[in-house]
Amino acid sequence: MASSPNHYRSATYTVDPEGAAVGTVTAIRGSVVDVRFPHRVPRLYNLLQAKGNIAIEVLSHLSEQTVRGIALTPVQGLARGASVTDTGNSLQVPVGAKLLGRVFNVFGDPIDGQAAVAGPRRSLHASPVPLSQRATQTDILETGIKAIDLLAPIERGGKAGLFGGAGVGKTILITEMIHNVVRQYRGVSLFCGIGERSREGEELYREMKSAGVLDNTVMVFGQMNEPPGARFRVGHAALTMAEYFRDEMHRDVLLMIDNVFRFIQAGSEVSGLIGQLPSRVGYQPTLATDLAALEERICSTQSAAITSVQAVYVPADDLTDPAAVHTFSHLSASIVLSRKRMSEGLYPAVDPLQSGSKLLTPSVVGQRHYKIAQAVRITLADYEELKDIIAMLGLEELAEQERATVYRARRLERFLTQPFFTTESFTNLPGQWVSLSETLKGCERILADEFSELPERELYMIGPIGDVKGRQQAQAAAQRKTQRDKEKEKPKK
């Protein structure tokens, strides 16, 4: 998936003859390049071109004749005194239906080995939709994943975050949501990989192709080996494509971003390179502004919506890290993945007590959904408090009512696990889509102790609650077959 360092850009940018200006490189510090324009300085965010397909974006004006920019491509071969041309335009990417099924980099150039996309192009830099043009109604986007739909429902046109440290299943959950939502709603899916490993990008491309959802998907990557400027702008490139689908084609878009922390990290690198003083924990002083410039463009209008699900890496699993705190403030739903639950084999490892959604109110989801979700959360919270007592004294020392709470909570925990379509090759379990009504029915029956006589393992990795009966029948049939086989093997007298 990676582009060759010498072939980052194949698109040709037209240079406005009247706005064109030629400058000279005066300083190079890593990816930061200072350029002097003796006659006319370029505007902020203009794209500059140097020999060897080196692209530089203007970030600040140092003086009346000097600008400072960040290189979006490797700067090998660039030296002081080199000639640089102002294109007169900001960085632009292609938009339109021709993008479906394709993979692009930050410049809008295909990196899937196919031909370049011809057609209209749009600037990466755009203003958010005015408040007067935004949709005000609240709709739920059903994902088919029990733990999310029950405890942290996602808003159509809203933003949901997947918080977790390394290796807790953020990318797996995102690919499952792409699979479920694209198939169920037949919308456009747009995957934006910020700081992705090329291996992950290539695997994701193959998974999407085999799942049959690639034809309605656009993928944009700013890979880990690319300069910080490219990683910092790839999120804006994906948003520009998504906005065209929403505003011009009136299609709902599911925008998956993996990983928002890498966007913040790239901004921190750019900030340090251009000489800004670091803020708390070493982040850029403009952290809130940089993140808001990206997040505020994700919204719903009267005609269509962009719904975003964003993976957020949490450094050292510390949810008080500034990157996580600033991201929280933009989200309507927060899904926290727990390393402890993952170690217990509870997949997806959604923490039911730390995850939540602003939509989980009776006026939005309804009284029944709200009551069941609260009952589930209270039961699991009570179990969490009892764990220390169980560890010290044992389950037998608990009162009968407390033991009933523990059994109920453990069954709920196992019912909220689910086999995924995207992990069938690893688990040998067929993936399951579970509707919200089935999820509510299952939790309601478990809370009413309907399955108190059933072993906990019978509720582990199933879809709807009705699968329990099917599993019992299958096990009974298997036992009968084993018994018949044993009787056949007995020697006749």
Contact (Cβ atoms closer than 8 angstroms) between residue 233 and residue 261: no
- Whether residue 486 lies in the annotated active site: no
User: Is the pLDDT score of 212 beyond 80?
Assistant: no
In tens, the pLDDT along 415-466 reads: 999 999 888 888 888 999 999 999 999 999 999 999 988 888 999 999 999 8
| Whole-number Å distance between alpha carbons of 334 and 329 | 10
The predicted structure's pLDDT at residue 274: 87
* φ and ψ at residue 21, rounded to 5 degrees: -145, 145
Mean pLDDT, residues 109-116 taken together = 92
How far apart, in whole angstroms, are the C-alpha atoms of residue 175 and residue 196?
14
Q: Can you give the pLDDT at residue 78?
A: 93
Catalytic residue selected from 40, 134, 183, 197: 197
As a whole number of Å, the end-to-end CA separation of the chain is 69
Q: What predicted TM-score, i.e. pTM, was given to this entire model?
A: 0.84
Asked if pLDDT for residue 1 goes beyond 60, the answer is: no
Task: Give the pLDDT of residue 3.
Answer: 43
Query: What are the pLDDT digits (tens) for 342-387?
Result: 999 999 999 999 999 999 999 999 999 999 999 999 999 999 999 9
Poorest-pLDDT segment among 18-32, 263-277, 282-296, 424-438: 18-32
Share of the chain above pLDDT 70, in %: 93
The predicted model gives 238-250 an average pLDDT of 94
What pLDDT is stored for residue 2 in this prediction? 43
Say how far apart CA 493 and CA 193 lie, in whole Å. Answer: 70
Which one, of 34, 32, 37, 27, lies nearest residue 88 by Cα?
A: 37
Distance CA 54, CA 182 (A): 37
Mean pLDDT of 252-263: 92
Residue 213 — very low, low, confident or very high, per pLDDT cuts 50/70/90? confident
Residue 39's pLDDT is what?
A: 87
Residue 344 annotated to the active site: no
% of the chain residues with pLDDT over 90: 59
Residue 16 confidence (pLDDT): 47
Secondary structure element (H or E) that encloses residue 336, with its range: strand 333-336
Query: Can you give the pLDDT at residue 258?
Result: 87
| Per-residue confidence (pLDDT) for residue 477, from 0 to 100 | 65
Residue 331: predicted pLDDT: 92
Q: Which one is predicted more confidently, 289 or 484?
A: 289
pLDDT 10s digits, 127-165 = 999 988 888 888 899 999 999 999 999 998 899 999 888
Give the bridge partners for 84, in sequence order: 23, 50
Do residues 390 and 406 lie in contact, with contact meaning Cβ atoms separated by under 8 Å? Answer: yes
Q: Which residues contact 371 (CB under 8 A, 6 or more apart)?
A: none
SS3 40: coil
pLDDT, averaged across the chain: 88
* Residues in Cβ contact with 175 at an 8 Å cutoff, skipping those fewer than 6 apart: 204, 207, 208, 422
**pLDDT in the model for residue 475:** 64
> Residue 11: what pLDDT?
42
Q: Is 453 helix (H, G, I), strand (E, B) or coil?
A: coil
Active site residue 170: yes
